[in-house]
C-alpha cells in the first residue's frame, strides 16, 4: 500500500469536511460603536458587513448600538470598541481638548455635507427660510444644541432670547403639534415623519398639504463633518494595517450604495437589528446618498476630509467658547489610511 498517497487522500478528505471558515485565514474581531440606534444612517457599515467586505479584509465585524445619552468616544477610549462613529467632528475635537483629554483621531467622514439644520413646516410655495425668519420664533433644540444655536445666531447677526428656546427630544412631535416653529434636526431623519403626517387624509388643518423646509447650518453657519469615523491614537499607531483594511471595507460599501441604490436599500432594510422600515430607508436614501460625495471626494476619494475645514471648525468652536484651545490639525484628523481614488 502507498501510505504516502493514502495519507494525502485522507488529509484532503478531512479538509473538505471542515467548514469553510476554518479553511480561511483567521479573522480579526473588530467592534464599531454607533452614535445612535442602528438605522439607515449607518448604511455603509451595514452594507460592508452584509456584502462581506469586512470579511474580505480579514475582519470579523460587530456593531454596538448607540442611542440617547450614549457617547461613542468614551466607549472607544476604554477599549470596548475599536472604532466609533461620531455624529459630528465636534465630538472628536471636544474629546481631544477636554480637561482630561481622550486621544482619539478622525479617520474619515462618511458624509461630506452636514445634514444639520433648523426645520420648519410651511406651504409648498413659501420661499426657503433664512436665519432672519427664525427671529421671534420658538426654537426647539436637543440638549447639546445650545452652543450651535448661539454660534449660528451670532454668525448671522440675529438674536434668539432664551425664553424662545426649548429642549426637545429627537422626534418632531413638538413641531407637528405647533408647540415650536423651528426644530434642530438632521434632514434625512426627522422630516420623514412630517411628510408622512402631512400626507394623511385625516391630517389636521395646520398640517394638511404642508411641507418641511430647512435653514441649513452648513450654509449659514459652518460645515461640521457628520458621521466621522474615529479610533484611538493607540489603535492608529499599533494597528495601522487594520485601520486601512477597515476603511477600505467602508469605502467599498459607500461606492456600492452609490452604484446599486435599490439593492443597497433592500440589504439595509433586512439587516438584523436595523430599526427603520423599507419606506423610510428609501426616503432617506434620496437625501443621504448624494451627501457621500463632493468636489473633495472626486479629487481625493470617498471619506476624504479637508484639513483646512477642520482648522476652521476648531477656530469656530474656540471663538464661541466651546473649546479652550485650538490643536494642530494633524493631532485631530488624518487622511493617511484612506484608500484614495478607486476609479
One fold for 9-113+224-331 and 116-220: yes
The whole-angstrom separation of Cα 260 and Cα 240 is 30
Q: What is the pLDDT along the chain (343 residues), one digit of tens a residue?
A: 443 444 344 444 444 454 544 435 699 999 999 999 999 999 999 999 999 999 999 999 999 999 877 899 999 999 999 999 998 899 999 999 999 999 999 999 999 999 999 999 999 999 999 999 999 999 999 887 888 899 899 889 999 999 999 999 889 999 999 999 999 999 999 999 999 999 999 999 999 999 999 999 989 977 789 899 999 999 999 999 999 999 999 999 999 999 999 999 999 999 999 999 999 999 999 999 999 999 999 999 999 999 999 999 999 889 888 899 999 999 999 999 999 876 5
Q: What is the pTM of this model?
A: 0.89
The partner residues of 231 in beta bridges, in order of sequence, read: 105
Q: Where are the domains of the chain?
A: 9-113+224-331, 116-220
CATH superfamily of 9-113+224-331: Periplasmic binding protein-like II (3.40.190.10)
113: cell is 455635507
pLDDT at 342: 66
Topology, domain 116-220:
D-Maltodextrin-Binding Protein; domain 2 (3.40.190)
HEC string of the chain? CCHHHHHHHHHHHHHHHCCHHHHCCCCEEEEEECCCCCCHHHHHHHHHHHCCHHHHCCEEEEEECCCCCCCHHHHHHCCCCCEEEECCHHHHHHHHCCCCCCCEEEEEECCCCCCEEEEEEECCCCCCCCHHHHCCCCEEECCCCHHHHHHHHHHCCCCCCHHHEEECCCCCHHHHCCCCCEEEEECCCCHHHHHHHHCCCCCCCCCCCCEEEEEEHHHHCCCCCCCEEEEEHHHHHHCHHHHHHHHHHHHHHHHHHHHCHHHHHHHHHHCCCCCCCHHHHHHHHHHHHHHHCCHHHHHHCCCCCCHHHHHHHHHHHHHCCCCCCCCCHHHCECCCCCCCCCC
Amino acid at each position: 500500500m502507498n501510505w504516502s498517497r493514502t495519507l494525502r487522500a485522507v488529509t484532503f478528505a478531512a479538509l473538505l469536511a471542515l467548514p469553510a471558515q476554518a479553511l480561511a485565514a483567521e479573522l480579526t474581531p473588530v467592534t464599531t460603536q454607533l452614535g445612535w440606534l442602528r438605522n439607515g444612517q449607518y448604511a455603509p457599515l451595514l452594507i460592508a458587513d452584509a456584502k462581506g467586505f469586512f470579511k474580505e479584509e480579514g475582519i470579523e465585524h460587530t456593531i454596538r448600538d448607540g442611542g440617547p445619552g450614549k457617547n461613542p468616544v468614551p466607549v472607544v477610549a476604554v477599549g470596548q470598541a475599536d472604532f466609533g462613529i461620531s455624529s459630528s467632528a465636534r465630538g472628536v475635537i471636544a474629546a481631544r481638548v477636554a480637561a482630561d483629554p481622550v486621544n482619539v483621531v478622525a479617520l474619515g467622514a462618511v458624509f461630506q455635507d452636514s445634514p444639520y439644520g433648523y426645520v420648519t413646516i410651511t406651504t409648498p410655495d413659501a420661499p426657503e427660510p433664512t436665519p432672519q425668519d427664525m427671529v421671534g420664533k420658538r426654537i426647539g433644540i436637543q440638549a447639546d444644541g445650545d452652543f450651535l444655536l448661539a454660534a449660528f445666531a451670532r454668525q448671522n447677526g440675529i438674536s434668539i432670547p432664551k425664553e424662545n428656546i426649548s429642549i426637545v427630544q429627537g422626534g418632531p412631535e413638538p413641531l407637528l403639534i405647533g408647540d415650536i416653529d423651528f426644530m434642530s434636526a438632521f434632514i434625512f431623519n426627522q422630516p420623514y415623519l412630517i411628510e408622512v403626517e402631512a400626507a394623511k387624509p385625516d391630517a389636521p388643518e395646520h398640517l394638511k398639504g404642508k411641507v418641511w423646509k430647512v435653514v441649513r447650518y452648513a450654509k449659514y453657519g459652518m460645515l461640521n463633518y457628520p458621521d466621522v469615523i474615529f479610533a484611538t491614537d493607540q489603535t492608529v499607531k499599533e494597528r495601522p494595517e487594520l485601520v486601512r483594511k477597515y476603511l477600505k471595507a467602508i469605502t467599498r460599501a459607500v461606492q456600492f450604495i452609490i452604484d446599486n441604490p435599490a439593492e443597497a436599500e433592500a440589504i439595509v432594510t433586512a439587516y438584523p437589528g436595523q430599526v427603520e422600515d423599507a419606506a423610510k430607508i428609501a426616503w432617506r436614501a434620496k437625501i443621504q446618498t448624494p451627501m457621500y460625495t463632493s468636489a473633495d471626494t472626486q479629487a481625493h476619494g470617498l471619506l476624504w476630509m479637508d484639513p483646512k475645514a477642520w482648522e476652521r471648525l476648531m477656530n469656530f468652536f474656540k471663538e464661541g467658547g466651546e473649546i479652550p484651545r485650538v490643536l494642530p490639525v494633524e493631532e485631530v484628523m488624518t487622511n493617511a489610511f484612506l484608500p484614495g481614488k478607486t476609479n
